C-alpha cells in the first residue's frame, strides 16, 4: 500500500540535497532572522550539529501587530553571503507574491506558512517557479484540504512540493498545537509528497521537541524542521520554544539512532 515518495532535490553550490529519498533531512535555524551576525552564528552552530538546510523567517506572520515582524527587505543584503560562507541553503516564508523577486537569490526553498495555506493566489504564483515549496498545514485544515492546496502549486507547473505537518488546533491547551502524526503516516501511505514534521510549532514546548522528533522519524517523516537560537531567551519571536545548541545537539544524536534503527541516514 505504501506509495513511492517522489524526492525533491535542491542544488546549492554544486551540491545536491535530496528530501524524500530515504535519508532524514534536518532543517534548523531561528524562527526569525534577527541580524547578519545572528544568522551567521546560528547557521554555523546548526551546521556543526548535522543540519543540511537552514531555516529563518524574513517576513513573520505575527498574531499581534506590534510584535517583531521580521527584518523584511533589510535582510536581503546579507543572506546570500552568509549562506555561502556557512554552506547551507535557506528556506524562508514568503507571505506575498510581491516578495518573489527579492526571494529569488535569497532562498533555495519557499515556505508557505500555516496562515497562508489557503492563499491560493500565492500558491498559483509559486507554481510558476521551479523552486521547492514547503507547504505547511493550516492549523485547522483537513488533510484533504492540504493536499488540494498543494495541487494549486503543481497545476501551476511546479511539482516540487514538500508537505509540512506543524500541528493542528484542538481542544487541548497544554501544548501550542496537537502534533498530528496520523497525517504523516497517511501521507506516506497514500501520496508521493515528501513530508517534513515541525515539532517546534507542533508542541510549542522545548522539552517535547526531542520526543516528537523521534516519533516523527519513526512514523516515516522525510525530515524535521526545528527552531534553534544561540540564546533562546533572547529570541525576537517564539522564544518559548527555541532550542539552544546543546538541546538541539542532544536531539540530533537521538534522531540519528532512531534513523539508524530503521536503516536510514541523515541527509548531509
Residues near ligand PEP, by CB under 6 A: 31, 57, 61, 113-115, 136, 166, 201
Q: Is 226 in the site for Mn ion (CB under 5 A)?
A: no
Rounded Cα distance, 76 and 39, in Å = 12
Q: How many CB atoms lie within 10 A of CB 96?
A: 12
**Cell numbers given for 219:** 512514523
Under rule CB under 5 A, which residues in 229-248 are in contact with Mn ion? 238
DSSP state string for 109-122: EEEE-GGGTT-HHH
Residue 113 binding partner per list ligand PEP, Mn ion, none, with a CB distance cut-off of 5 to 8 Å that depends on partner kind: ligand PEP
Residue 229 binding partner per list Mn ion, ligand PEP, none, with a CB distance cut-off of 5 to 8 Å that depends on partner kind: none
C-beta nearest to ligand PEP: residue: 113
Least separation in angstroms between CB 37 and Mn ion: 20
72/253 with CB nearer ligand PEP: 72
**Coil, helix or strand at residue 243:** strand
Helix ranges restricted to H, 4-160: 36-48, 76-86, 100-106, 120-127, 143-155
61/140 with CB nearer ligand PEP: 61
Picking from 99, 89, 96, the residue whose alpha carbon sits closest to that of residue 119 is 96
Residue 166 binding partner per list ligand PEP, Mn ion, none, with a CB distance cut-off of 5 to 8 Å that depends on partner kind: ligand PEP
Rounded Cα distance, 96 and 66, in Å = 19
118/258 with CB nearer ligand PEP: 118
Least separation in angstroms between CB 9 and ligand PEP: 22
**Residue 73 buriedness (CB in 10 A; 0-12 / 13-18 / 19+):** exposed
Under rule CB under 5 A, which residues in 16-55 are in contact with Mn ion? 31
CA dihedral 103, 55, 149, 130 (to 10 degrees): 40
- Residue that has been written with the C-alpha cell 517546534 in this structure: 200
6/131 with CB nearer ligand PEP: 131
45/57 with CB nearer ligand PEP: 57
Residue 61 binding partner per list ligand PEP, Mn ion, none, with a CB distance cut-off of 5 to 8 Å that depends on partner kind: ligand PEP
Give me the residues that bind Mn ion (CB under 5 A), please. 31, 238
Amino acid at each position: 500500500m505504501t506509495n513511492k515518495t517522489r524526492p525533491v532535490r535542491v542544488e546549492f553550490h554544486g551540491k545536491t540535497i535530496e528530501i524524500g529519498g530515504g535519508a532524514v533531512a534536518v532543517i534548523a535555524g531561528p524562527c526569525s532572522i534577527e541580524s547578519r551576525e545572528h544568522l551567521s552564528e546560528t547557521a554555523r552552530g546548526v551546521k556543526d550539529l548535522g543540519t543540511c538546510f537552514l531555516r529563518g523567517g524574513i517576513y513573520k506572520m505575527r498574531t499581534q501587530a506590534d510584535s517583531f515582524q521580521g527584518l523584511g527587505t533589510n535582510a536581503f543584503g546579507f543572506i546570500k553571503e552568509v549562506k555561502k560562507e556557512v554552506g547551507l541553503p535557506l528556506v524562508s516564508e514568503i507571505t506575498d507574491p510581491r516578495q518573489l523577486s527579492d526571494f529569488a537569490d535569497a532562498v533555495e526553498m519557499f515556505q508557505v506558512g500555516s496562515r497562508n495555506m489557503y492563499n491560493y493566489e500565492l500558491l498559483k504564483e509559486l507554481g510558476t517557479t521551479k523552486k521547492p515549496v514547503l507547504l505547511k498545514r493550516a492549523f485547522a485544515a483537513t488533510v484533504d484540504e492540504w493536499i488540494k492546496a498543494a495541487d494549486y502549486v503543481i497545476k501551476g507547473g511546479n511539482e516540487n512540493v514538500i508537505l509540512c505537518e506543524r500541528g493542528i488546533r484542538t481542544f487541548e491547551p497544554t501544548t501550542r498545537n496537537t502534533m498530528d502524526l496520523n497525517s504523516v503516516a497517511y501521507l506516506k501511505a497514500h501520496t508521493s509528497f515528501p513530508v517534513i514534521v515541525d515539532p517546534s510549532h507542533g508542541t510549542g514546548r522545548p522539552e517535547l521537541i526531542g520526543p516528537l522528533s523521534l516519533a516523527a522519524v519513526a512514523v516515516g517523516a522525510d525530515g524535521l524542521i526545528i527552531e534553534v537560537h544561540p540564546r533562546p531567551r533572547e529570541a525576537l519571536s517564539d522564544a518559548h520554544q527555541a532550542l539552544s545548541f546543546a538541546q538541539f545537539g542532544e536531539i540530533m544524536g537521538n534522531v540519528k539512532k532512531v534513523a539508524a534503527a530503521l536503516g536510514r541516514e541523515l541527509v548531509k
